Amino acid sequence: MIDDTAPEATAYQDAMRRALAEARLAGAAGDVPVGAVVLDAAGAVIGTGHNDRERTGDPTGHAEIVAMRAAAAARGEWRLTGCTLVVTLEPCTMCAGAAVQARIGRIVYGAVDLKGGAAGSLWDVVRDRRLNHRPEVVAEVLAPECGALLTEFFTTRRVG
């Protein structure tokens, strides 16, 4: 577990708060509250996204994919070399694979996903030595806030 006061974690807290705002948009729309932002090498936000599967009926409508598509459009190319993907939940295999394919330089995530995470918990797709590109991973930034949003969402779904 990363200490939220460690330099690698504090550097991404503002971006994670932006991702949390995106996650709240997803939750308000009835989708699993996961949000993501993509930062360029200078730290500027160049893409944002939140889960959008329910509205669009698109199984690839995960926050990370939506944010990376927006970032690629902003850059005018698919390569996101030097960029950082900040997401409230550890990426799944699809999103981890997409980040590798996009040449994302760093993945920063909040809550660990023990059931489907692919950036170090259940699987470690992004650091597989057989791949030609392996992003750096910074885990558990603002993890309590990120996890609480998911817990609240699923608790209200099960009770109601």
> Can you say which residues are annotated as belonging to the binding site for Zn(2+)?
62, 92, 95
Binding-site annotation: residue ranges = 62, 92, 95
Side chain identity at residue 40, one-letter code: D
> Can you point out the beta strands (E) in 40-79?
45-50
**Residue 47, token pair as written in the block:** 């893409």
Chain centre to alpha carbon of residue 24: 14
Chain centre to alpha carbon of residue 109: 6
Identified catalytic residue from 64, 77, 90, 140: 64
Q: What is the largest CA-CA distance in the chain?
A: 46
Catalytic residue status for 64: yes
What residues contact 149, with CB distance under 8 A and at least 6 apart?
20, 23, 24, 27, 33, 88
The DSSP bridge pattern shows strands 35-39 and 84-89 to be antiparallel
Catalytic positions, written as ranges: 64
